[in-house]
Chain A
Amino acid sequence: MIEQLIIEGLAIGACYGLFGVAVAIIYKTSDVINFGQGEMGMISTFVTYHILAQYGLPFWLAFVLTMVFAVLLGVFIEFFFLRPAKDPTVLGLIIITLGAEMLLMGLAGWKWGAEQKDFTFPLSVQKVHEPIPGLVLNEWSIGVFALTALIMVLLFLFFRYSNLGIAMRATQQNQNAAKIMGIKVERVFSFTWGLSSLIGAVAAMFFAARSVLDPNFMMEPFMRAFAAAVLGGLTSIPGVVVGGLMLGLIENFFGYAWPVWKPIVAFVVIIIILTIRPSGLFAKHYVKKV
């Protein structure tokens, strides 16, 4: 029983972590908290659903098309909503992303209505395997673990070795210096949003496979993932994944003991952790100097 709780918790936690990485990439590069991330993933999942339901294409093709759509959506939002704002404050940026969230949620509700839909996803929660006796894994968890590991390795290689990844890190450290070094900072931001939107869309599909598909379905997972990202420290990508895993575990154990309070345990933990470590567990806390 206890192993099963741990496995389940880690699986959902990895999914939170993956989505949290999408939030963290944007925050790392441009200091923007993207409250619209959940709805960007939601719209992308709806696009997959639409392609599958309307045109009857095979899943892999729909998946590829959705990924293209997700990247374009991210770039679109950065280009049209964030770039025109002149010297926005932290609150201004939050309002912009919240505005994008409301806009996307409204559009999805307008297009697909509020009723819940079933999302056909090749990896189901029902099909289980038993690789080692006593350890039951469902296909969904295997998929999440494999994908999270893969994306983490790819991101590590990308940030370590590719020119673009290094440019993103440079932009994060000092925008003006990066500009002087010949980095097109705006283009880096657009790329960041595209990349983040792509990762978010993949994670959103996994969430949709677990629950149902309606315009609100990403609200709860997004807040959990955001909480996980804050828990790990928004600026450290491995920290975010570890934070997600921890949150998944805490939530699953708590949910087992006191099912009634499962939805809020994440936030109570976050408030306590933030009181003790104001920048999360794994990020260095910078004290502002005068």
Chain B
Amino acid sequence: MDMKRDYYEDIEVFSSGTVLFWSIALFVFLFTLPLYLSSYNVYLFNIILVHVILAVGLNILVGYTGQISLGHAGFFAIGAYGTALLMTHLGLPFFVAIIAAGLIAAFFGFIIGLPALRLEGPYLAIATLGFGLTIMHIIGRWDIFGGRMGIQTPPLDIGIPQWGLSALLDSDVKMYYLILVIAVVMVIGARNMMKTRIGRAFVAIRDDDIAAEVMGVNLLAFKTLSFAVSAFYAGVAGGLFGFVLGFFDPFTFNLILSIIFLVMIVVGGLGSVLGAVLGASLITYLQYDLLKNVDEMPYLGDVLVWISRKLFTVIGLENFNSIMLGLIMLGIVIFEPLGMFGIWIRIKKYWKTWPF
């Protein structure tokens, strides 16, 4: 099948002309997307793209480097608050602010990466979980962060308003193009990174950290780098997320959000950029659209309301979201541990080797 014959085939970003063609086709499709969509759906796509950036970043840490993080909502929050506050209080231009916020998040990722050198499995899970909760609490307490009331994002201006170069993005559609460009750059960047020395070092650490160290991979440098890169992605995604929402408070970034991020990449498929994109899209769609008003769905909604009346309470039906998410998590680990990417691989194999 996909036999690699020389080194350059292994490090190509697009493995064949077909892949390149369809990638460009997808990109063109995404660029013309707002023409066919209603404004709510554009808003939904904005959130999906933000989650795609985050999931690709989280996948670098969890899928490629094999570390566990239950605190990514913390980095997400740092990005969102960092971008908004740098723009409001220091008057920085958008691109400077979002990159600065990403770098702040990366710095925190580096700090969390230090204890991670000695921790693994459950111990790492509790340490990162503690980090996420701590960040949420600190933000909720300090007045500069708006406290529990939350803060409003400044108007999204991607130019430099102080110099008279104003480019105000005041609608969801304009914001969509900004997020799309950043998302595409970051997804391709992640894919490219995994083909370089750094990416191979990450994979080596995942497969066996002792063997990797023996081979000359500097664990201190690469584990902390993985945390930092992943946190940078989360920070940039958080900065964009803040503008998509327009208004947010510390409870937006709770533990459940960290769990949902983890679910995205597990459902999509660990250790694959495509998987992270698929998983983020599916879970976000389910969360924000399909399962939001489940009682208004045709047929199924009626059945669920009837069941609710008989056995449960109708008012509690909004929790159906969480039940479905739980079932997806259980189902994916039990039946398809490779996630949607695994299904894709199986379909591909089936067609390539068809009569057999």
Interface residue ranges, A against B (CB under 8 Å): 27, 33, 81, 84-86, 88-92, 94-96, 98-114, 215, 219, 223, 226-227, 230, 234, 260-261, 263-264, 266-268, 270-271, 274-275, 278-280, 288, 290
Contacts and interface: CB of A to CB of B under 8 A. Distances in A.
A279 to B, nearest CB: 7
Contacts of B325: 99, 102, 106
B337 A106 contact: no
B255 A105 contact: no
Contacts of B323: 102-103, 106-107, 110
A106 B78 CA distance: 29
Nearest to A33: B122
B197 interface: no
Contacts of A102: 259, 322-323, 325-326, 329
Contacts of B62: 91
Contacts of A98: 259, 262-263, 329
Interface stretch (B48-56, B128-136, B182-190): B128-136
Contacts of A95: 262-263, 266, 329, 332-333
B76 to A, nearest CB: 18
Nearest to B267: A95
B315 A267 contact: no
Interface in B311-343: 311-313, 315-330, 332-334, 337
B125 A33 contact: yes
Contact of B326 (A106, A114, A266): A106
Max count, chain B CB within 10 A of own CB: residue among A99, A100, A219, A230: A99
Nearest to A260: B141
A263 B140 CA distance: 12
22 contacts: A27-B122, A81-B330, A90-B68, A90-B122, A91-B62, A94-B262, A96-B333, A102-B326, A103-B323, A105-B319, A109-B322, A223-B129, A230-B126, A263-B133, A263-B137, A264-B138, A267-B133, A268-B130, A274-B119, A275-B114, A290-B210, A290-B211
B207 to A, nearest CB: 12
A85 B334 contact: yes
A113 B316 contact: yes
Interface of B: 62, 68, 114-115, 118-119, 121-123, 125-127, 129-131, 133-134, 137-138, 141, 210-211, 255, 259, 262-263, 266, 270, 308, 311-313, 315-330, 332-334, 337
A263 B250 CA distance: 15
Given A98-B262, A223-B255, A288-B210, 6 more contacts: A33-B121, A107-B319, A109-B318, A261-B141, A264-B133, A274-B123
Contacts of B127: 270-271, 274
Main SS of chain B's interface residues? Answer: helix
Contacts of B324: 106
A92 B66 CA distance: 12
Closest 7 CB pairs of A and B: A99-B329, A267-B130, A103-B326, A109-B319, A106-B322, A102-B326, A106-B323
Contact of B313 (A112, A230, A288): A112
A33 B320 CA distance: 25
A112 B270 contact: no
Contacts of A223: 129, 133, 255
A271 B68 CA distance: 15
A111 B316 contact: yes
B68 A91 contact: yes
B37 to A, nearest CB: 30
